[in-house]
Amino acid sequence: MNTDSLFKPFSLKTLNIKNRIVMAPMTRSFSPNGVPTDDVAAYYKKRAEGEAGLILSEGTVINRVSSSNDANVPHFYGADALAGWQQVINEVHTAGGAMGPQIWHMGVMDNHASGWVPSQPFEGPSGLNRPGNTNGNTMTDADIADTIAAFGQAAADAKALGFDTVEIHGAHGYLIDQFFWDGTNQRTDVYGGKTLAERTRFGVEVIKEVRKRVGEDFALIIRLSQFKPSAYDFKLAKDPQEMEAWLTPLVDAGVDILHCSQRRFWEPEFEGSDLNFAGWAKKLTGKATITVGSVGLSGDFFGAFAGESSQPSSLDELLRRFDRGDFDLVGVGRPLLSDPAWAQKIRNGETDELKGFTPQALGELVM
Ligand X SMILES: Cc1cc2nc3c(=O)[nH]c(=O)nc-3n(C[C@H](O)[C@H](O)[C@H](O)COP(=O)(O)O)c2cc1C
The residues that are catalytic are 174
Residue 102 near ligand X by CB under 6 A: yes
Instruction: Answer for the pair 252, 201: CB distance below 8 angstroms, yes or no.
Output: no
Dihedrals φ, ψ of 166, to 5°? -135, 140
Instruction: Answer for the pair 364, 339: CB distance below 8 angstroms, yes or no.
Output: no
- Shortest distance (Å) from residue 302 CB to ligand X: 9
Mark residues 326-365: x for contact with ligand X by CB under 6 A, - for none. ------xxx---------------------------x---
| Cα 338 from Cα 187, distance rounded (Å) | 42
Q: Which of 261, 289, 291, 338 binds ligand X (CB under 6 A)?
A: 261
Residue closer to ligand X (CB basis): 178 or 294: 294
Residue 88: strand, helix, or coil: helix
Residue 115: strand, helix, or coil: coil
Query: Which residues, 6 or more positions from 364, have their beta carbon under 8 angstroms from its beta carbon?
Result: none
Strand partners, 290: 259, 329
The residue among 194, 178, 196, 58 whose CA lies nearest residue 122 is 178
Residue 144 near ligand X by CB under 6 A: no
Residue closer to ligand X (CB basis): 74 or 136: 74
- Shortest distance (Å) from residue 57 CB to ligand X: 8
The residue among 239, 208, 207, 211 whose CA lies nearest residue 226 is 239
Instruction: Answer for the pair 175, 230: CB distance below 8 angstroms, yes or no.
Output: no
Q: Which of 3, 6, 21, 25 binds ligand X (CB under 6 A)?
A: 25
Neighbours of 34 (CB within 10 A): 20
DSSP structure class, residue 151? H
Residue 26 near ligand X by CB under 6 A: yes
Mark residues 32-61: x for contact with ligand X by CB under 6 A, - for none. --------------------------xx--
Residue closer to ligand X (CB basis): 239 or 305: 305
Residue closer to ligand X (CB basis): 187 or 257: 257
The residue among 73, 59, 193 whose CA lies nearest residue 125 is 193
Stretch in the footprint of ligand X (CB under 6 A) among 20-28, 128-136, 142-150, 177-185: 20-28
Residue closer to ligand X (CB basis): 144 or 171: 171
Mark residues 208-237: x for contact with ligand X by CB under 6 A, - for none. ---------------x--------------
| Cα 216 from Cα 226, distance rounded (Å) | 28
Give the CA distances from residue 267 to residues 83, 262, 291, in Å, rounded to whole numbers and listed in that order. 41, 8, 11
| Cα 67 from Cα 206, distance rounded (Å) | 15
Of residues 165-194, those binding ligand X (CB under 6 A): 169, 171-172
Query: Site size for ligand X, by CB under 6 A?
Result: 24
Of residues 277-316, those binding ligand X (CB under 6 A): 292-295, 297, 300-301, 304
- Shortest distance (Å) from residue 294 CB to ligand X: 4
Mutual angle of helices 79-94 and 141-161, in 10-degree steps: 40
Residue closer to ligand X (CB basis): 105 or 172: 172
Mark residues 63-92: x for contact with ligand X by CB under 6 A, - for none. ------------------------------
- Shortest distance (Å) from residue 356 CB to ligand X: 11
Neighbours of 336 (CB within 10 A): 25
Residue closer to ligand X (CB basis): 184 or 291: 291
Instruction: Answer for the pair 40, 31: CB distance below 8 angstroms, yes or no.
Output: yes
Q: Which of 16, 27, 29, 248 binds ligand X (CB under 6 A)?
A: 27
- Shortest distance (Å) from residue 340 CB to ligand X: 14
The binding site for ligand X (CB under 6 A) comprises 24-27, 58-59, 102, 169, 171-172, 223, 261, 292-295, 297, 300-301, 304, 332-334, 362
